[in-house]
Amino acid sequence: MAPLTRVSALVRMARPLILPGGMLAYALGAAMAYGHSGYFYWGAAAAGFLITELANLLASYVDEYADVDTDALTRRTWFSGGSGVLPAGLVPDHWALWAGLVSGALAVALTTLFTLNGVISPHAAWIVGLGLLGGWFYSMPPLCLERRGLGELDNALLGGLLMPLMGYTVQTGRPTIEAVLALLPIFTLVLVNLLAVHWADREADAAVGKRSLVVLLGERTRLLHHALIAVSYLLVIALAGWVLPLPVVVALLATAPVSLWAARTFGRQTSPVPSAAAMVAAIVAATVGWIVAAGWPGAGP
């Protein structure tokens, strides 16, 4: 096998179209910290970002390894169905597992180094630990959360809470209850996106006995999808003023048309793109809102 083919396979299994979602989530947390304090520490931000992306790589690679059966049957889209590398036999299955283990080991090593050197807070270290465990057990035994109806929740906690909290904590030194509350609308929209991703894979998942939440709920997934979108914007209104400053509230409410598009199209098509767009729009809007809110009255924790 040509070296270029091996490198290409590893890059594809990293899911480069999905990794930017983690980058945006991390950037949101950093923007929240900036909105609260008006300060930004580039060195800490870079260290936390590198660790976060290594943790994301672990999750991507081990999911590729664990989902060969369902990925061989499903129809791939930009955001669902895996990379297709392992079902096509381009590299041995164990390559994905080892790539995940190496990524996780590097994340642990860098977290230890940066914590001991004072570059990042010890609070960031336990966030990394939870993230690595959540990313591993999403796909891998003995928990295999994605096959027990808990994968969507696990993944939403990773992408909607832990990744932004990592960006926040490397700036502020510790997470806060206010930061967690501020992320709840994002968490629910990340869950909306994951329902759409698994909706696209539901037939292949059911065929191999993978009991995702979507497989368990069946057509009732539509009701949950729509309810979560409504809850997201109700949370924005409920948190306005005392947790979310005005620029963030306005920015998030402005994304409602995208989420309405996602609700209207869910179940009528298999593509997860509308729901993914709703999630991305909310993350980007909130990030911009927090940057604008730096120094805004009531923006602090």
pLDDT for 75-106, tens place per residue? 776 666 677 888 888 889 999 999 999 999 99
Q: What is the pLDDT of residues 142-197, one digit of tens each?
A: 999 999 999 999 999 999 999 999 999 999 999 999 999 999 999 999 999 999 99
Question: For residue 267, what pLDDT is reported?
Answer: 86
Q: List CB contacts of 298: < 8 A, sequence separation 6 or more.
A: 241, 242, 245, 246
193: tokens are 């996106």
299 exposed, middle or buried (CB, 10 Å; 0-12, 13-18, 19+)?
A: buried
Q: What is the mean pLDDT of residues 118-140?
A: 96
Q: Which residue has the higher pLDDT, 21 or 225?
A: 225
Mean pLDDT of 15-24: 86
Q: Taking all residues of the chain, what is their mean pLDDT, rounded to a whole number?
A: 92
Residue 48 has pLDDT above 70, yes or no: yes
The CA distance from 126 to 116, in Å, is: 14
Mean pLDDT of 243-247: 96
First to last CA, the chain: 55
CB count within 10 Å of CB 139 equals 23
Is pLDDT above 60 for 248? yes
Above pLDDT 70, what percent of the chain?
95
Q: How far apart are CA 51 and CA 104, in angstroms?
A: 9
What residue has token string 């509350």?
Answer: 181
Among 1-10, 60-69, 92-101, 183-192, the range of highest mean pLDDT: 183-192
Q: Using CA atoms, how far apart are residues 191 and 207, in angstroms rounded to an integer?
A: 23
Band (pLDDT 50/70/90 cuts) for residue 28 is very high
- Judged against a pLDDT cut of 70, whether residue 57 lies above it is answered with yes
pLDDT digits (tens, 9 = 90+) for 201-211: 898 889 888 89
Q: What is the pTM of this model?
A: 0.93
pLDDT at 285 over 70: yes
Q: Note the pLDDT of residue 212.
A: 93
pLDDT at site 227: 98
